[in-house]
Amino acid sequence: MSNSGTPVASPCINICRMDEPSGWCEGCLRTLDEIALWGSMPDEQRSAIWTALPIRRAQRAAGVK
């Protein structure tokens, strides 16, 4: 659980298409493994993924795969 007692929410925005070169979902920018394991991973790991998303978004915008 997070500090507030509420689990860390999923970043899913219901745009579920995988970008093959990057391996990230085009909507939430998670990998298939991150998506599949989200429900069972600890909040610390979920928070780490949330922290990585802006970096992935910037990489995608810059064309980095």
Cα separation of the two ends of the chain: 32
State the pLDDT at residue 43: 97
The percent helix, strand, coil of the chain (3-state, each to 5) is: 45, 10, 50
pTM of the predicted structure, to 2 decimals: 0.86
| Residue, of 64 and 49, whose pLDDT is higher | 49
| Residue, of 1 and 61, whose pLDDT is higher | 61
pLDDT, averaged across the chain:
93
State the pLDDT at residue 4: 67
State the pLDDT at residue 1: 45
Give residue 65's pLDDT band: very low, low, confident or very high (50, 70, 90). Answer: low
